[in-house]
Amino acid sequence: MNHGPFLFLGLFATFAWSWFALVLKPQNELGTLEPEKNPVTGEVYPLNRAGAAQQGRDVYRANGCAACHTQQVRSRESGSDMARGWGVRPTVARDFIFDNPAMPGVFRIGPDLANVGNRQRDPKWHFSHLYNPRIKSPGSSMPPYRYLFEKHKTGVAPSADAIDTGTYSPGAGYEILPTDEARSLVDYMMSLKADTYIFEVPNPHPSTNAPTGTTNAVAGAVTNAPTQ
């Protein structure tokens, strides 16, 4: 008996089902996500990153930072990310709608960076850390990114942008300045703030919730003030 047609149908069904489940369904559910307006505060989330931070995202990609860092905080039920202080709420697909490509990452040699802009708020900290991570984190296994910095002759006075190089001295009359790439990368780091409560991830603290009925979230659960 010729089993060819059955074989063909079986294969066709397998591929059709995979296409439906892996391409069509996710595209229908996630491909059309839009920024959301918080009915209480009027804040729109997410916004596209400011100009330099968008270039910084490319620097982040080009330097392989995503090989060691994730940008996805897991829910309390699925891991200890929130207990470790990596975020106040789990990451959701809407967080990435302006990022092309999105870089949620898969390996964690270093900490999750979804919310690092709230954790490390000082750009100078980031510059020194990028120049030599061990200045800020003794014993760090993160590689130094010195090629994102330049050595310059100090002018009449040291420039305000000169970075802290720890125990290394660039030599008398010299200073280390960040390149445009380093500046935009740090802008990107500072822009990583996924702490706005939205429909998918409402604020779990009822005391700060909006009055019931003012939102489309579970009974009055939207506000922007992170409370932990």
| CA separation for the pair 66, 124 (Å, rounded) | 22
Query: How many residues touch ligand HEC (CB under 6 A)?
Result: 24
Under 8 Å between Cβ of 81 and 69: no
Taking CB atoms, the residue at the shortest distance from ligand HEC is: 110
Q: Binding string, 155-194, against ligand HEC, x = CB under 6 A?
A: ------------------------------x---x-----
Q: Which stretch binds ligand HEC (CB under 6 A): 106-114, 153-161, 165-173, 175-183?
A: 106-114
Rule CB under 6 A: choose which of 49, 57, 69, 89 binds ligand HEC: 69
**Closest CA relative to residue 116, chosen from 85, 138, 146:** 85
| Token code pair at residue 141 | 């296994």
Exposed, middle or buried: residue 10 (CB in 10 Å: 0-12, 13-18, 19+)?
exposed
Identity of the residue, 110 or 178, whose beta carbon is nearer to ligand HEC in the bound complex: 110
123 touching ligand HEC, by CB under 6 A: no
| CA separation for the pair 176, 106 (Å, rounded) | 33
